[in-house]
């Protein structure tokens, strides 16, 4: 997928994984990738365990999470 924007790798389909964000239409959710990274699994290990994934898929999951976390938090005083 040369020239593909990282976020274009994230797909949401109502009939896949309950409509949760996935990687390139595959049945691996963004949250699965993020969870593995949070547990300390290396990028190389993820790519070995899931040979259909590409390094840019991991970057896309991180970029997606960063974008989702980038919003104002309103607090009432």
Domain annotation for the chain: domains and CATH numbers? 6-69 (1.10.10.10)
Q: Are 67 and 56 in contact (CB under 8 A)?
A: no
* pLDDT (0 to 100) of residue 39: 98
Confidence of residue 4 (pLDDT cuts 50, 70, 90): low
Residues 6+ apart with CB under 8 A from 7: 60, 63, 64, 67
Residue 50, pLDDT above cutoff 80:
yes
Residue 2, pLDDT above cutoff 60:
no
Confidence of residue 64 (pLDDT cuts 50, 70, 90): very high
Residue 56, pLDDT above cutoff 70:
yes
């Amino acid at each position: 997928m040369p020239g593909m924007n990282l976020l274009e790798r994230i797909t949401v389909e109502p009939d896949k994984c309950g409509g949760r964000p996935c990687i390139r239409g595959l049945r691996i959710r963004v949250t699965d990738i993020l969870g593995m990274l949070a547990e300390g699994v290396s990028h190389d290990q993820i790519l070995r365990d899931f040979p259909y994934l590409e390094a840019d898929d991991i970057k896309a999951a991180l970029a997606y999470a960063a974008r989702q976390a980038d919003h104002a938090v309103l607090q009432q005083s």
